[in-house]
């Protein structure tokens, strides 16, 4: 809920300052296994799901400011753990504030790095 409110405020601020927001064809997330210390960057196309360890990560939407695509990203993610019946995360993550709406998992962390602005993402 906090992330949705923060996203709405950021989008409103962007609209107020005449900055356009675009939807990207995908995004890049970083996954961390807190036990082994291994990190993996994953390029995922919008609507596609990728599996890493026990997690299946899907990017439902990724948005960015057209004036500066590398400055900020907002991604709506669905993350599932193969050992659990319900998603471990479903909602918006903000790249510059990963702790605002973080996935609560004992072993893994996942956060958004940026949107992919080319159509080749998610290969």
The residues, ordered by sequence, that sit 6+ positions from 123 with a Cβ below 8 Å of its Cβ are 43, 45
With 0.85 as the threshold, say if the pTM is over it: no
What per-residue confidence (pLDDT) applies to 53?
Answer: 93
With 0-12 / 13-18 / 19 or more C-beta atoms within 10 angstroms meaning exposed / middle / buried, residue 97 is: middle
For residue 56, which of 80, 38, 72 has the smallest C-alpha distance? 80
Residue 67 reports pLDDT greater than 50: yes
Q: 8-58 pLDDT, tens per residue?
A: 555 555 444 456 877 788 888 889 899 999 999 999 888 899 999 999 999
β-pairing, 108-116 vs 26-33, is antiparallel
For 34, the token pair is: 């807190």
């Amino acid at each position: 809920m906090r992330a949705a409110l923060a996203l709405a405020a950021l989008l409103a601020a962007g609209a107020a300052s005449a900055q356009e927001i675009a939807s990207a064809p995908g995004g890049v997330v970083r996954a961390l296994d807190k036990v082994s210390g291994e990190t993996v960057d994953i390029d995922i196309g919008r609507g596609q799901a990728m599996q890493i360890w026990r997690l299946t990560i899907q990017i439902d939407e990724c948005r960015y400011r057209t004036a500066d695509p590398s400055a900020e990203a907002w991604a709506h993610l669905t993350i599932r753990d193969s050992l659990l019946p319900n998603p471990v995360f479903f909602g918006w993550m903000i790249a510059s504030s990963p702790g605002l709406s973080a996935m609560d998992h004992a072993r893994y962390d996942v956060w958004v790095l940026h949107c992919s602005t080319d159509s080749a993402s998610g290969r």
